[in-house]
Amino acid sequence: MENSLAVDYQLQENIGVIRVNNPPVNAMSQAVRMGIKQAVVEAQSDNCQAILLLCEGRTFIAGADIKEFGKPALDPSLSDLLATIEQSRKLIIAAIHGTALGGGFELALTCHYRCAISSAKVGLPEVKLGLLPGAGGTQRASRLAGVEAALDLISNGNPISASKALTLNLIDTILEGDLAEASIAYAQKLVADFAPIKRVSDINIEKDSIPTGFLDDARARFEKRFRGQLALQNIVSCMEAAIELPFDEGLRKERQLFVECMQSDASAAMRHLFFAERSAAKVKALDRSICAREIHTVGIIGGGTMGGGIAMNFANAGIPVILIEVDDCGVNRALKIVERNYGITVSKGKLSEEQKDHCLSLISGTTKYEELGDVDLVIEAVYENLDLKKKIFGRLDEVCRPGTILATNTSYQDIDLIASATGRPEDVIGMHFFSPANVMKLLEVVRGSKTADDVISSAMGVAKIIKKIPVLSGNCYGFIGNRMLRSYVSETQSCLIEGAAPEQIDGVMENFGMAMGPLAVGDLAGLDIGYTARKALSQEKKGAPKTYCIADALVEMGRLGQKSGSGYYLYDPETRGRMNDPEVLTVMQQQAEKLGIIRKPISDEDVLNRLVFSLINEGAKLLEEGIAQRSSDIDVVYVFGYGFPKFRGGPMQYADTVGLKKVCHIIDEFYNQYETPNWECARLLKSLATKELNFSAYT
């Protein structure tokens, strides 16, 4: 009998088989919930001896239906469905393939038995949206796997393999062969063996099985590493409930804490990012009928750390790469960098030796540009010198076949000027990777004024192939990310010379949620990098002396950052732990006196607002100018490229959380106080605040 378009129920011999078919990932929509519930109720009074839950297509139920996010709940709720399943008088078996995630795995955990094929994965990833499993996942996983294993599974949110799930007692058996046939046979065997109905709710957790202080230690660890993230603390509270409370009371406690998370700013921000990441891949006004150019082979100019990292992305995706260097020594050095990076990946257990060898076999090196004659995409990744880049693109124009995409990895150079060195500017595009390129997820795709639509489509598409998050940017100095970074760095230096200490600035931003403060990041990257880049800039682009004089003075003293043992901080040569250094305060005072600046205390609140609101204001200007397609794209750039805390949602989402009227008011106060152009409030920001709108309303 057919119960809904998404769920079918049929008797197969003595087994009642429920089949879910809600492509593409069998999301737990209202229709799926209703269909499963109706089938379970029907099975209670028919001739089946056990019920088997199967899913069609490529996966088991892979989570909630994102179309229902933020909307009023529709009956039956997931909790109602799971109560019906658990109380079934007949055995219910979940047969898992693909991925069983979130509510899908909570459903499987509620079934009386669980089987899976060996390639299946299961998990509870709600924490990645600032949430926790809200339909019994914390209570059931802790009873089956133990509190320690359940806390690890739920707090990191990463899926685990079927074999790992088997060792944790989260599934009962792994099946071979065709899932439908094997799972029906498994169900029939359970019936033949008079297998009892196993309700997870009947399991009690022995308190003495939990190490003393385990949950207190977890709380402290989460608070230190994930400051301000409510979901992690609430997950620990759910573990406490599983230990201390009867099952039904534990469920109520879990639901209460889930709702608390759902209503938090952090979860709203992380859910915003979930949708923002998906929107970023879509190019406005791009004809969907356009055929992207196929990318089967790639050339990379420059085999340094960046070029080698870019090569790894393509090799990991099975795409052959040709690395170009200036001489044989450069080629050998480049290949050794790549091999070393792969070795590190293997040592971390993220790659096997066989996979490493296969990837290395796809990367070759040469000094001859002619070998790029038939590649589909070339990415230039040399250092930031416009004349050198133009020379390289002129050479590529000569040797590459018509239709080859010519991309530059530049961080801030003008794409149109680079394209002007070729006779095919329509084939030229920016593909700005972030360092380390084999690790960082963001890819800024930069369109020039003449870049062809199919080239844009190709660059956005290839980003997905190499598992990057693409964001389209218009062509301006620094594009989206580095243009905004200039404001952030400039304001950091202004705070520094006007009265804040390095440890105050970094402490404020780390308390806000950044993994590292801006000055610690500068020391890690090397202060000489920015110093060298500034030397090549005009005075106009360098900005006011107060925004770089301290950094320049430190470099000229030989304080280059961690690599020299000193920068804004002193560094322990063995641990690289940072320590405050009075000498830096002396440098700051000397530079302030040279510029006639009287240093005075700056509050933590002002430090935070000056740094973060400078990002917001510049982001609004990028939207005004059409450099960024949408405000959420800016958030994606800053979270995945610059370490802006995910639980804040990105600078533009954070502005919406604070309220644009308040943001405008504070920016106006800074403009009145400092009278510098960067604090002139963006017209778009003022307009939205006046209309009582927010950035999310601007599309």
Q: List Cβ<8 Å contacts ≥24 apart for 500-507.
A: 500/602, 500/607, 501/580, 501/585, 502/568, 502/569, 502/580, 502/584, 503/569, 503/580, 504/602, 504/604, 504/607, 505/607, 505/611, 507/604
Catalytic (active site) residue 106: yes
Selecting among 126, 325, 444, 491, the annotated active-site residue is: 126
Distance CA 635, CA 638 (A): 5
- CA nearest 130: which of 608, 630, 653, 616? 653
321-324/298-301 β-pairing: parallel
Decide: helix, strand or coil at residue 113.
strand
- CA nearest 483: which of 634, 636, 631? 634
The enclosing H or E element of 43 equals helix 30-43
Catalytic (active site) residue 126: yes
Question: Could you please report the per-residue DSSP string of 596-658?
Answer: T-------HHHHHHHHHHHHHHHHHHHHHHTSBS-HHHHHHHHHHHH---GGGT-HHHHHHHH
Give the largest Cα separation in the chain, rounded. Answer: 91
Compute CA 375 distance to the chain's CA centroid, rounded to the nearest angstrom: 30
Distance CA 29, CA 15 (A): 25
* Euclidean distance between the first and the last CA atom of the chain, given in angstroms as a whole number: 46
Selecting among 2, 42, 56, 106, the annotated active-site residue is: 106
Task: Let me know the angle formed at the C-alpha of 506 by 502 and 510, rounded to the nearest 5 degrees.
Answer: 165
Compute CA 454 distance to the chain's CA centroid, rounded to the nearest angstrom: 27
Distance CA 389, CA 459 (A): 19
Distance CA 72, CA 512 (A): 32
Q: What is the CB neighbour count within 10 angstroms for residue 223?
A: 14
Bridge partners, 12 (sequence order): 15
Q: How far is residue 698 from each of residues 26, 268, 691, 693, measured CA to CA in Å?
A: 32, 18, 12, 8
Q: How far is residue 281 from each of residues 100, 160, 284, 579, measured CA to CA in Å?
A: 25, 27, 10, 42
Residue with tokens 């700051």: 588
**Do 166 and 123 contact (CB within 8 A), yes or no?**
no
Q: Which residues are catalytic?
A: 106, 126
